[in-house]
Amino acid sequence: MKASFVQKIVVLGTGGTIAGLSVGPQERGQYRAGELSIERIWGQVNGVGLEPHFDVDVHQVCQIDSKDMAHAHWHLLLAHLQTAMADPAVRGILITHGTDTLEETAFLLSWLLPHDKPVVLTGAMRAWDAPDSDGRQNLQDAWAVLQRLIARSMGGVRVVMAGEVHPAGSVQKMHAQSLHAFESEAPMPLSRLTQDPPTSPQSLGSGQFEAPRSVEDVWPYVRPSLAQVLAHPQWPRVEVVMSHAGVEPAGVVLALVEQLERERELGLGREAAPATPRLAPLRGLVVSGTGSGTWAESLREPLLSLMSLGVTVVLTSRVPWGHEGLSGHPLPGPKTPTLASGLTTSAHSAHSPGGAQWSQLSPVKARIALALHLLASQEATA
């Protein structure tokens, strides 16, 4: 007799190299990403070991090269995830994703999704039909991890690549070609998880595989709910600039200042509808700084000018690891004594624009966090 309550796993495809096909001779390694549908990929995977009490719902969210991932694609993905999270029959979710922006999507999901159901992301460094393709194995590994998480009733977001399980908040792509392209602060070898009895979560000992906590930061970002994000497909505009040797004060940052000043002079408000398309007003800027979050002195005046125009500035480091305990590089200005430093322990910017903050997140993750912060602040003051 068939059970009245069927448990499901949702598989979501977004394209990427794992869905790529070779272009020309396969040995040259040239391919087009996002060519295969998730239905075709799933149909070609053998030996996944689907538990008999699980049904699988497969959905194509988008079919792109992940370098082209946009807020609109995230909006579609989040809508699918909201539906899956709300369905009591769904026990877990598996997402295939391109590796270029996988760490950004993983971070976004770790900040927005509830931790009551497991979500596992995976991808590939080689096209699906390449002789040394890693996509099939990564997909099977991700499936094995997801089933273990379900068996242990463990939620949260994780990334599975090259035989390792990474926490979504700290994972980064660190190599452009290697199959072992991803690193994180606390990866777990896949073998450790799959060899442990699924009924003995205490056998993990160190607790590395406990439900991952959302990444905390020195600046208390305000986070919107998933429903709030889905209600605002247009995110606040946040840009990223880099501090580097030889950076010119009259470069990108000054151009942003001039753009904002020009818009103010023209009186173009948020509701204005000019005949030609224009960028949304700049709300935030992330500075990818050097070392411990320092930045070139030539950027001081342009950054202060942006803050005086209501732009929230977040100072980060372009160095991947070692941010713990750092407080950044202060950004005081002789004419702006209220802007004391990049480190704050209060959310004084939560409902007011402007100000400089230090973040231990990577620049691309800080951009996401800041955009969400500004979206939530906008909601709070609406």
Residue range 171-227, pLDDT digits in tens: 999 999 999 999 998 788 876 665 555 444 333 333 445 556 666 677 788 899 999
First vs last Cα of the chain: how many Å apart? 54
Res 187: pLDDT: 83
Same domain, 343 and 374: yes
Same domain, 191 and 288: no
The yes-or-no answer on residue 345 being catalytic is: no
Looking at the fold, whether 252 and 148 belong to one and the same domain comes out as no
Contact 212, 169 (CB under 8 A): yes
- CA–CA distance, 237 with 280 (Å, rounded to integer): 6
Among 352, 356, 353, 351, CA closest to 341: 356
Instruction: Estimate the crossing angle of helix 300-308 against helix 252-266, to 10 degrees.
Output: 30
Q: What's 186's domain CATH number?
A: 3.40.50.1170
* pLDDT for the residue 27: 60
Residue partners of 31: CB distance under 8 A and separation at least 6: 17, 20, 21, 22, 23, 127, 130
Do 196 and 249 lie in one domain? The reply is no
CATH number at residue 294: 3.40.50.40
Set 17, 99, 101, 122: catalytic member: 17
Q: Residue 260 falls within a domain, yes or no?
A: yes
Rounding to the nearest 10 degrees, give the CA dihedral for residues 257, 242, 220, 167.
150
- 50 and 197 inside one domain: yes
Note the pLDDT of residue 50. Answer: 59
Domain-located, residue 95: yes
Assigned domain for 212 exists: no
Query: pTM score, two decimals?
Result: 0.86
pLDDT(349) > 60 = no
**192 lies in the same domain as 238:** no
**Which residue segment(s) compose the domain that 159 sits in?**
7-204
Distance of CA 343 to the CA centre of its chain: 23
User: Do 129 and 235 lie in a common domain?
Assistant: no
Is there a domain that residue 216 lies in? no
Residue 214: inside a domain: no
128 and 168 fall within a common domain: yes
Is residue 92 in some structural domain? yes
Residue at 217 is within a domain? no
Among 174, 204, 234, where does a domain finish? 204
Identify the domain boundary among 204, 237, 255.
204
What is the C-alpha to C-alpha distance for residues 354 and 381, in angstroms, rounded to an integer? 15
User: Token pair 């994972």 is at which residue?
Assistant: 171
Residue matched to tokens 């125009």: 309
Q: Are residues 27 and 162 in the same domain?
A: yes
Could you tell me if 26 and 140 lie in one domain? yes
Query: Which of 262-271, 334-343, 372-381 has the least mean pLDDT?
Result: 334-343
- What would the mean pLDDT of 24-28 be, rounded to a whole number? 67
Bridge partners (DSSP) listed for residue 284: 238, 312
Using a 10 angstrom Cβ sphere, with 0-12 exposed, 13-18 middle and 19 or more buried, the burial of residue 364 is middle
> Based on the domain organization, do 331 and 287 belong to the same domain?
yes
Q: Is residue 1 part of a domain?
A: no
- 340 shares its domain with 234: yes
Number of structural domains in the chain: 2
Note the pLDDT tens digit of each residue in 103-151: 999 999 999 999 999 999 999 999 999 999 999 999 999 999 999 999 8
pLDDT above 50: residue 337: no
